[in-house]
């Protein structure tokens, strides 16, 4: 009896409060199928809680419609603009709340981990990652906009590397991969 390959459905999320990218793929054995991708856009000038609600509502819809097994989300990093990172963190939180509600396990990756998993080089240029994403998924053109392509790359990263390569999305800067041991279920 031939054993059927396991199918995994993964949603990748590139969080942002102006634009949140999403990409949903199936991986069966070594083959990928793109299910859906796009962006959730919110407009400047709209009350911020309403922008977060719009992101939350669309993520809820996507999770209910596509029923992914896992979520791959970009880990936040502090750049020079702290105001932007705080808003992005809040958008990321709106996404993670819906994943928790739906019972979807979430894993986070740094941009460098995504670049390494997609291109084999952790400091690859954005265009290289997009081109490889297109090629890996067998698409005719690079997915647009960039946020959707980034979300698909995040989904591929989890599909190809598994959960051992990433940390659970638990707020890495507080206690996630930087001091929490899943093995010991406590701090190290």
- 11 found inside a domain: yes
Q: Which of 74, 75, 108, 150 is catalytic?
A: 74
- 148 found inside a domain: yes
Name the pLDDT band for 185 (thresholds 50, 70, 90).
very low
- 118 found inside a domain: yes
- 143 found inside a domain: yes
Q: What is the span of the domain harbouring residue 24?
A: 7-187
pLDDT at 175 over 50: no
Q: Give residue-wise pLDDT tens across range 128-145.
A: 999 999 999 999 999 999
Which secondary structure element, helix H or strand E, spans residue 137, and what is its range?
helix 126-137
What is the count of structural domains for the chain? 1
* CATH classification of the domain holding 142: 3.30.420.10
Active site residue 14: yes
Q: Which of 98, 108, 147, 150 is catalytic?
A: 147
Closest CA to 76 of 152, 177, 2: 177
Percent of the chain residues past pLDDT 90, beyond the cut: 75
Q: Which has more pLDDT, 1 or 156?
A: 156
Q: How far is Cα of residue 85 from the mean position of the Cα atoms in its chain?
A: 16
Strand-pair category, 105-109 with 7-14: unpaired
- 2 found inside a domain: no
* The two three-digit tokens of residue 86, written as one number: 């705080």
The tokens 């669309």 sit on which residue?
58
**Dihedral-angle region of residue 15 (phi above 0 means left; psi in -120 to 50 means alpha; beta otherwise):** beta
Active site residue 26: no
Q: Which has more pLDDT, 41 or 169?
A: 41
Q: Which has more pLDDT, 162 or 141?
A: 141
Name the pLDDT band for 163 (thresholds 50, 70, 90).
low
Active site residue 146: no
C-alpha to C-alpha distance for 84 and 92, rounded to whole angstroms: 12
Q: Give residue-wise pLDDT tens across range 4-37.
A: 888 999 999 999 999 999 999 999 998 999 999 9
pLDDT at 2: 75
- 1 found inside a domain: no
The average pLDDT across 69-95 equals 87
């Amino acid at each position: 009896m031939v054993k059927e390959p396991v199918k995994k459905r993964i949603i990748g999320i590139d969080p942002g409060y102006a634009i949140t990218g999403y990409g949903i793929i199936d991986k069966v054995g070594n083959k990928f199928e793109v299910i859906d991708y796009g962006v959730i856009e919110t407009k400047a000038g709209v009350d911020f809680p309403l922008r977060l609600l719009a992101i939350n509502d669309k993520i809820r819809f996507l999770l209910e419609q596509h029923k992914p097994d896992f979520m791959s989300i970009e880990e936040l990093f502090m750049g020079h603009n702290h105001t932007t990172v705080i808003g992005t963190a809040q958008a990321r939180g709106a996404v993670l709340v819906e994943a928790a509600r739906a019972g979807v396990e979430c894993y986070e990756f740094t941009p460098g981990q995504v670049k390494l998993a997609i291109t084999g080089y952790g400091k690859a240029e954005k265009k290289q990652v997009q081109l490889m994403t297109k090629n890996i998924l067998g698409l005719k053109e690079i997915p647009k906009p960039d946020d959707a392509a980034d979300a698909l790359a995040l989904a591929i990263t989890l599909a190809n590397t598994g959960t051992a390569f990433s940390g659970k999305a638990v707020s890495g800067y507080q206690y996630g991969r930087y001091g929490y041991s899943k093995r010991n279920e406590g701090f190290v």
